[in-house]
Structure formats: C-alpha cells, structure tokens
C-alpha cells in the first residue's frame, strides 16, 4: 500500500500573505514557500507576521528543502526568520534566489542554507520528492508552478499566476505542459491561487499597460516623469524604461530596492535597459525635465519610501514640483488606500500632476481571474482540489467555482491556516487542525504570538495613558505626599494642568478614607477605579489607567 501524503497549511489560507505549506511523506518534509503577512490596523506596531514556524521546528531534522515559487515577500519574506532556527536548502529560480540572498545576507543567515537554482521545466529530486517546475506568468519574473510527484500521485501547486497571452518577456504559463501531465499521469491534487477568484472575466495583459504608459509619456512630453511601481515588478519597469527610451529620456532609479532589483534583473538578462540610457538620480536635475524619467519605489505610499518622502519635500534626491508628472503604476493593496490618498494630495499640493490607476489603466493584476482559473482547472483536470492563497471569501469563491464547473463537492476541501489534509488510497481527507495557525508577529528583535499586546496598543494609540502615583509611609497607613498624575496622549497640556489637580484631590480623598477605615488591601484597585471614574466623568475619554502604589 503506497504511503500517504500529508499537507499542512502553515499560512496563506485566510489571509493574502505568509504563504507556507509543509508536504510530508516517508518521514520527509518539503516546505512550499515561506512568506510574511503585512499586518493590518488590528496589529499596531507589528512589522510583519510569520507563518507557523513552530510546526517546522518540531520537524527540523526532517526538512529536505524549501521551494520558493517566486520572489514576492508573501512567499519569501519569512525565510530569514526560519533560517535563524532551522537549516535547509532553498530551491528557486535565479531571480528569486537573487531577491532571497539579499535578505539572508542582511540578517546574517546566508550560511545556514544552500541556494539551489532551478530553471523552467527542470525536474529534480528534493529528498525523495520528484519535483518538476513549470513556468507561470505573474507580476514578478520567473514564477514557477510545481508538479510534485508523490506515492499518491501528482500534487500541482499553481503558485501565483495569470494567463497572459502577451507577456512582456514572452514567458507564458505553460498550459501545454500542465495538460501533458494531466493526460499522461493525472493530477491527483490541485492547490491553486484564489486571490482573484471573486472577479469575473480575465485579467488584462501586462503589455496593455505598456500602451497606456506610452500614452501618458506622450501627453506629458514636456514634463519630468516619475513612475512608481513595485520594485520586483521587472516587467512593469521594463515597460516604463521602454517608454522612456523611446521618447528620448534617461532613466534614473530611486529607492534602495528599486536600485537593487533593477541591477539584479539586468545582470540576469531579465531587463533590457542600455547603459547609455541610465543615469544616477543625482544627475537628473542637470537635464531638462523632458529628458528624465525616474522609476521609484513607494507606489503604496509607505511612510519612509522614496516617493512618500519626496511628496512631503523630505527627499534628498527628488524635489517634486510643478514640472513633474507622477504616475502610480500599481493599485493600493487593501489597507493602504488612505496612505496612498494622502501621498497623492501631498504631491498635488507641491504642484505635480498625478496619474493613477483610478483614472487610467496604468496597472493590471498579476493574479488570474475566474476565466483564467477555469482554464487551469480544465487543463489540469484534478481529482481533488484545495483553494489556497486567499482570504476566507476568496477560498470559498474558488471552491464554488470548481463545483460549478462540475467537480463533485466532496472532492473540494476548504482548509484554513493550521489545517492538514491527507492524500491516501481513499482520497483526500481533512485531518482538521494539527498546527496552531496562530499569528507569530515580528516587532523589533522579538517574535511573539497572542493578541493582548495589540489590545493595549490600540487603547494607548487612541486614548493615551494616565499614570497615578500614590506614595505611602513605610507602615502603609498614611499618604506620604499628594498623589501625582502623569499622562501621555490623554489631553493637551493646558487642559491637563486644569484637570489633574482635581483628579489628584479625588484620589487623595479616596485613599485617605480607605486608610482611615483601617483597610490595607485593594488600594491599587481603588486608585484605578477612582482615577478612571474621574477621567471618564471629566473628559468622556477612556485612556489606560496605570495605578502605582509605593510604600517607602
Ligand atoms: Zn506573488
Ligand atoms: Zn502571493
């Protein structure tokens, strides 16, 4: 009887981010992606969220390797953290490895792994997993779909993909190869990207964006053009560069990751940009505006990004003014809308013209919509299906799409982070939750889990804090001095001077009454309650109250 295969989802099923899965068979663990999730407003202060690395740590000596399907942060961003605790080889395309190695060197964990390049159509063994890599089109170069042959048949992992018949680099998602595998061996299980499963139709070709960009360049011919895009989106950068070179402009890069990724892509022959067309951003001011195109990071309005700094006049390199047209060649990721809107307002206030996706189609998605998903389902014709890479709503919509196409509903398994499915002779069974699925968030140098901290931070962030210090005599029977209020973020300084004395009086009276009654227990609670009531009655606000009772 062939061995069973377990697949445990350690992230990415419930959020768009922190994609990571463990595929286990014959005592070996193959990891599929290891990315981060960018925290929402409900996790104030967190830098990012990791997948469940605990599950992998418990199986540390059985990990045979990690496949990274492409170079987006939600697929590679947690590798450095994983490698601080674990050691395993990483398999990815050369471009993806270039992005990975920069991150690993930054964190000094490069020596804990071996980076193994894989090419389109390569078929290699990772442990005893027989893996084939199929090219897919996505919003970053060199994305790879994985066909993993196991004793229970082929597991096909789509990676993030779209079906673009006219991709900028001519590298299409290889449906023919997927069809051949389906025909000759059959696809036992499909794990497929669900990001755009709610959206009807097909995504527009990346090449269409190039046409729109050319139009923008023509319409703003006399002005300097600053185009912001994701720094890993080399196909977009290519189209900006082409439009710039065609219109006689020099291209300057702005932002560390843009510089680094452009250099990486040029080195690998993935970006065509002649040397004579490249200038340093410091030289840009010496040329007339009509001769310059700046390609920048910061399309999401990230606070410290090159473009956001330029928008507030704080950039060392770029002085935005009335001669500039700024093109935001991306759409805001949910959660970033307000920041992007603020940046647009700042740019407009500095006299710039702004072109964004809300007005012109200067962006297209990297994820296939419903028609593209249907095509993949048709070509792969899987026996079982688990939607991956999406929020709950995307996973559910993708499952519904498969069932509507005629897949029996008992062959579609909806799983969430922490769940395991098992592929065996009897089919695909849900084993329920075997890993925690918890959020492990990174903040500074520590990794923690649990929500308590964010509850406290939201109160502090929205209402501030009032500290009440009560000093008692050594025997704890009388007040040594008048209590003190210290507050941050509760009320402005003028009002604080007015109100704090009244608060001090109320707390002092309550403490004295309490001590006179002979009671000694419960003083901390009394101070918290008295101060809390005072603060709430006098201001209608609910800051955090921190009582400190000292006996000296
Ligand atoms: Zn991606
Ligand atoms: Zn992704």
Cα-to-centroid distance, 8 and ligand 2 (Å): 18
How many other β-carbons are positioned within 10 Å of the β-carbon of residue 539?
A: 15
Cα 443 versus chain centre, distance: 15
* pLDDT at site 519: 76
pLDDT per position in the chain (552 positions), as tens? 679 999 999 999 999 999 999 999 999 999 999 999 998 888 999 999 999 999 999 999 999 999 999 999 999 999 999 999 999 999 999 999 999 999 999 999 999 999 999 999 999 999 999 999 999 999 999 999 999 999 999 999 999 999 999 999 999 999 999 999 999 999 999 999 999 999 999 999 999 999 999 999 999 999 999 999 999 999 999 999 999 999 999 999 999 999 999 999 999 999 999 999 999 999 998 999 999 999 999 999 988 899 999 999 999 999 999 999 999 999 888 788 999 999 999 999 999 999 999 888 999 999 999 999 999 999 999 999 999 999 999 999 999 999 999 999 999 999 999 999 999 999 999 999 999 888 999 999 999 998 889 999 999 999 999 999 999 988 888 899 999 999 999 999 889 888 999 999 999 999 999 999 887 688 999 999 999 999 999 999 999 999 999 987
Give the containing element (helix H, strand E) for 93: none
Residue 513 CB partners (closer than 8 Å, separation 6+): none
- CA 225 from centre of chain: 28
Cα–Cα distance for residue pair 17/394, rounded to 1 Å: 13
Write phi, then psi, for 10 (nearest 5 degrees). Answer: -100, 0
Ligand lying closest to the C-alpha of residue 17: 2
d(CA 141, CA 80): 21
**Bridge partners, 134 (sequence order):** 145
How many angstroms separate the alpha carbon of residue 137 from the centre of ligand 1? 10
CA proximity to 489, closest of 460, 459, 458, 464: 464
CA of 477 to the centre of ligand 1 (A): 65
Q: Which domains does the chain have, with CATH numbers?
A: 5-201+365-438 (3.60.15.10), 206-356 (3.40.50.10710), 452-551 (3.10.20.580)
| Residue 160 CA, ligand 2 centroid: distance in Å | 6
Q: How far is the CA of 532 from the centre of ligand 2 (A)?
A: 46
Long-range contacts from 507-514, C-beta under 8 angstroms, 24+ separation:
507/468, 507/470, 507/483, 507/531, 507/534, 508/479, 508/482, 508/483, 511/470, 511/479, 511/483, 512/478, 512/479
Taken in order 283, 288, 293, 298, the sign of the CA dihedral is positive
> What H or E segment, with its residue span, contains residue 399?
helix 392-404
Check: CB of residue 180 under 8 Å from CB of residue 328.
no
Protein residues with C-beta less than 5 angstroms from the ion ligand 2: 74, 160
Distance (Å) from CA 217 to ligand 2 centroid? 30
- Distance of alpha carbon 132 from alpha carbon 118, whole angstroms: 10
Residue 223 C-alpha to ligand 1 middle, in angstroms? 33
SS3 track for 422-469: EEECCEEEEEEECCCCCCEEEECCEEEECCHHHHHHHHHHHHCEEEEE
User: Which two tokens mark 371?
Assistant: 């028609």
The ligand with the least distance to the CA atom of 193 is 2
The pLDDT, as a whole number, for residue 83 is: 98
42-51 CB burial, b ≥16 within 10 A, e <16: ebbebebbbb
Ligand 1 centroid–CA 369 distance in Å is: 14
* Buried-exposed string 155-175: b where 16+ CB fall within 10 A, e elsewhere: bbbbbbbbbbeebbbebbbbb
What's the pLDDT at 1? 63
529 Cα distance to chain centroid: 41
Q: How far is the CA of 64 from the centre of ligand 1 (A)?
A: 24
Closest CA relative to residue 300, chosen from 268, 329, 270: 329
Dihedral over Cα of 298, 302, 308, 314: its sign: negative
Rounded to the nearest angstrom, the distance between the alpha carbon of 160 and the centre of ligand 1 is: 5
Phi first, then psi, for residue 502 (nearest 5°) are: -60, -40
Determine contact, residues 296/335, Cβ cutoff 8 Å: no
> Which residues contact residue 353 at a Cβ distance below 8 angstroms, ignoring those fewer than 6 apart?
220, 223, 324, 325, 326
Distance 139 CA to ligand 1 centre (A): 7
What's the gap in Å between 497 CA and the centre of ligand 1?
A: 53
What's the CA gap between 228 and 332, in Å, rounded? 12
- Residue 210 Cα, ligand 1 centroid: separation in angstroms? 20
Distance 36 CA to ligand 2 centre (A): 10
Cα 372 to middle of ligand 1, angstroms: 16
How many Å lie between the centroid of ligand 2 and the Cα of residue 389? 7
CA distances from 374 to 197, 349, 382 (A): 10, 46, 12
Give the ligand with the smallest distance to the CA of 138: 1
**Can you say whether the dihedral through the CA atoms of 533, 535, 536, 541 is positive or negative?**
negative
Contact call for residues 159 and 84 (beta carbons, < 8 A): no
Closest ligand, as measured to the CA of 389: 2
CA of 109 to the centre of ligand 2 (A): 23
Using the mean position of ligand 1's atoms as its centre, give its distance from the Cα of residue 464 in Å: 38
CA distance 150 to 7: 12
Ligand located closest to 161 CA: 1
Which ligand is in closest contact with the Cα of 194?
2
Answer yes or no: pTM beyond 0.85: yes
**From the CA of 157, how far away is ligand 1's center (Å)?**
13
The rounded Å distance from CA 174 to ligand 1 centre is 17
Q: In this structure, which ligand is nearest to the CA of 233? A: 1
Ligand 1 centre from 247 Cα, in Å? 31
Task: Please state, in angstroms and rounded to a whole number, the distance separating the CA atoms of residues 196 and 401.
Answer: 12
């Amino acid at each position: 009887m062939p061995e069973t295969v377990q697949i445990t989802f350690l992230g990415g099923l419930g959020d768009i981010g922190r994609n990571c899965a463990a595929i286990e068979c014959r005592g070996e663990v193959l990891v599929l992606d290891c990315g981060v999730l960018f925290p929402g407003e409900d996790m104030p202060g967190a830098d990012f969220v990791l997948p469940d690395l605990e599950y992998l740590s418990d199986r540390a000596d059985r990990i045979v390797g990690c496949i990274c399907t492409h170079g987006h942060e939600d697929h590679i961003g947690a590798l450095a953290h994983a490698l601080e605790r674990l050691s395993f080889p990483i398999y990815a395309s050369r471009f993806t490895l270039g992005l990975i190695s920069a991150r690993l060197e930054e964190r000094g964990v490069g020596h804990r792994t071996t980076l193994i390049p894989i090419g389109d159509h390569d078929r290699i063994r990772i442990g005893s997993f027989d893996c084939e890599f199929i090219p897919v089109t996505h919003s970053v170069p060199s994305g790879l779909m994985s066909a993993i042959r196991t004793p229970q048949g082929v597991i096909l992992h789509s990676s993030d993909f779209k079906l673009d018949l006219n991709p900028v680099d001519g590298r299409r998602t290889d449906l023919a190869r997927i069809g051949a595998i389906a025909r000759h061996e059959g696809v036992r299980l499909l794990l497929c990207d669900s990001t755009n499963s709610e959206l009807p139709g097909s995504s527009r070709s990346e090449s269409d964006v190039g046409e729109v960009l050319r139009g923008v360049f023509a319409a703003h011919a006399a002005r300097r053009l600053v185009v912001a895009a994701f720094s890993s989106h080399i196909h977009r950068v290519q189209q900006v560069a082409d439009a710039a070179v065609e219109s006689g402009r020099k291209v300057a890069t702005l932002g560390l990751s843009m510089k680094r990724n452009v250099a990486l892509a040029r080195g690998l022959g993935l970006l065509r940009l002649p040397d004579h067309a490249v200038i340093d951003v410091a030289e840009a001011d010496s040329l007339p505006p009509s001769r310059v195109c700046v390609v920048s990071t910061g399309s999401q309005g990230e606070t410290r990004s090159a473009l956001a700094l330029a928008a507030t006049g704080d950039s060392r390199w770029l002085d935005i003014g009335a001669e500039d047209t700024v093109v935001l060649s991306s759409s805001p990721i949910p959660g970033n809308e307000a920041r992007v809107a603020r940046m647009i307002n700042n740019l407009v206030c500095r006299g710039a013209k702004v072109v964004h996706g809300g007005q012109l189609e200067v962006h297209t998605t990297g994820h296939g919509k419903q028609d593209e998903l249907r095509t993949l389902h048709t070509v792969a014709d899987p026996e079982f299906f688990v939607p991956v890479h999406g929020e709950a709503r995307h996973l559910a919509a993708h499952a519904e799409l498969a069932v509507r196409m005629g897949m029996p509903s008992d062959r579609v398994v909806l799983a969430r982070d922490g769940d395991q499915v098992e592929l065996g002779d009897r089919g695909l069974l849900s084993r329920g939750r075997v890993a925690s699925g918890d959020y492990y968030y990174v903040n500074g140098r520590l990794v923690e889990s649990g929500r308590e901290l964010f509850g406290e931070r939201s109160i502090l962030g929205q209402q501030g804090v009032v500290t009440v210090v009560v000093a008692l005599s050594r025997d704890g029977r009388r007040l040594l001095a008048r209590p003190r209020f210290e507050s941050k973020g509760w009320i402005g300084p003028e009002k604080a001077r007015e109100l704090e004395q009244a608060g001090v009086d109320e707390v002092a009276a309550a403490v004295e009454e309490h001590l006179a009654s002979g009671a000694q227990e419960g003083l901390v609670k009394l101070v918290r309650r008295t101060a809390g009531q005072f603060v709430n009655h006098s201001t209608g606000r609910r800051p955090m109250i921190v009582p400190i009772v000292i006996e000296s």
